[in-house]
Amino acid sequence: MNGMWKFTVRRILIMIPQVVLLSILVFIMAKMMPGDALSGLMDPNLDPATLEELREKLGLNDPWYTQYIHWIGDLFHGDMGESFRYKMPVSELIGQRMVNTFWLSLVTLILIYLISVPLGIISGRYNDSLLDQAITGYTYIGFATPLFIFALVLLWIFGFQFGWFPTGGSVTPGSTPGTLDYISSKLYHLLLPAISMALIGTVGTVQYLRNEIIDTKQKDFILTARAKGASESRVYNRHVLRNSLLPIAAFFGYEITGLISGTVFVESIYTYPGMGQLFLESITTRDYSVATALTLLFGIAAILGTLISDIILSLVDPRIRIK
């Protein structure tokens, strides 16, 4: 366990330069966008001299590194600027959306694993069977189908045609937060977006797990297990699966990245008030401070995803702890 802790601490330390680099990149990107924090915020009729004075006062004329330090300092205080469109602090705006996106992502992830683990196991264990071919066929279709089209089709069929699911929003208006009704309404609203993301997002994991299982079952230690007299099901449950699920843990970071791009499309299509929808909206309306903050947050989420993968991996794979 000691090795485990050492590994975790070291792994977290590695994250620091990653986040710093990310913040610099995001900052440079923000600076390269046309206009600055003021041009959108202010009354266009203000005279240029006053504007220049304001710029000076806000430090917008300082060298970039000074501005960067300021920006970071503000971030640490939770100040991510002001949304010119919503006329409210970005942190507050994102805060509301973040909760929605979090639940949507969590449910999607759960669905992804609920779908991909059994399918991958069946496909890998009985490879080249009819069932495997059907599953592989599904993954090919999934790879070829763009998420936003698939999400639109599901919305049209199950939302508009059948009316089984709500077609927008994250909760029925008027329900009181905290009640069971409220929670089930929230879940109901995110179910269809989550299903559409999961059905497409799962194919990579299914394929990955299938290949892992086919690979693992040909390993020598599987022969050792059989030579011990272990039954077929025991061979799979004790020896093949554990070794094949390992890379799935490593895949978790990738899954998070996929979710981020997924939410951008899906939330926009389902007008689900989350970070993804806000991101697309902030770009089309040139709400730069919002776009910048979201980019930074998405980047951090991706970095955290790989961190979590690595820690899970080190928990299950003793070989990693040694290095």
Partner 1 sequence: MKQELLQLKNLRTSFRIGDEYYAAVDDVSLTVNKNEVLAVVGESGCGKSALAFSVMGLHTRAKIEGNILFKDHDLAHASPGTMNRLRGKDLGMIFQDPLTALNPLMIIGDQIGEVIYLHNKTLSQANRKKKVLELLDKVGIPRPEHTYNQYPHELSGGMRQRVVIAIAIANDPELLIADEPTTALDATIQSQILDLITRLKKDMHAGIILITHDLGVVAEMADRVAVMYAGEIVEIADVMTLFGRPLHPYTRSLLNSVPNAEKDQDELHVIQGIVPSLKNLPREGCRFKDRIPWLDESAHEENPQMHEVTPGHFVRCTCYKHFHFPKERKEEKHHGIS
Sole residue written with tokens 């979590």: 308
Closer Cβ to partner 1, 13 or 227, answer by number: 227
The minimum distance between CB 5 and partner 1, in angstroms, equals 18
- How far apart are CB 230 and partner 1 at their closest, in Å? 6
Q: Which is nearer to partner 1, 50 or 218 (CB)?
A: 218
Sign of the dihedral defined by the CA atoms of residues 89, 92, 98, 100, in that order: negative
Q: Which spans of this chain sit near partner 1 (rule: CB under 8 A)?
A: 219-221, 223-232, 234, 238-239, 242-243, 246, 316-319, 322
- Closest separation between CB of residue 132 and partner 1, Å? 15
Q: Is 183 within 8 Å of 103 (Cβ atoms)?
A: no
Instruction: Supply the minimum distance, in Å, between the C-beta of residue 237 and partner 1.
Output: 12
Smallest distance, partner 1 to C-beta of residue 122, A:
17
Shortest distance, position 215 Cβ to partner 1, whole Å: 13
Which contacts qualify for 51-56: CB closer than 8 Å, 24 or more apart? Answer: none
* Inter-CA distances, 274 with 207, 227, 267, 289, Å: 29, 54, 6, 17
d(CA 170, CA 18): 33
Query: Which lies closer to partner 1 via its Cβ, residue 184 or residue 231?
Result: 231
CB nearer partner 1, residue 47 or residue 220: 220
Q: How far apart are CA 242 and CA 239, in angstroms?
A: 6
CA triplet 25, 146, 106: central angle to 5 degrees? 65
Short-list 297, 251, 265, CA closest to 109? 251
User: % helix / strand / coil in the chain, to the nearest 5?
Assistant: 80, 0, 20
Q: How far is the CB of 322 from partner 1 (least distance, A)?
A: 7
CB nearer partner 1, residue 183 or residue 230? 230
Contacts of 160 (CB under 8 A, 6+ apart): 167
Buried b (16+ CB within 10 A) or exposed e, 224-242: ebeeeebeeeebbeebbbe
- Of 50 and 237, which CB lies nearer to partner 1 in the complex structure? 237
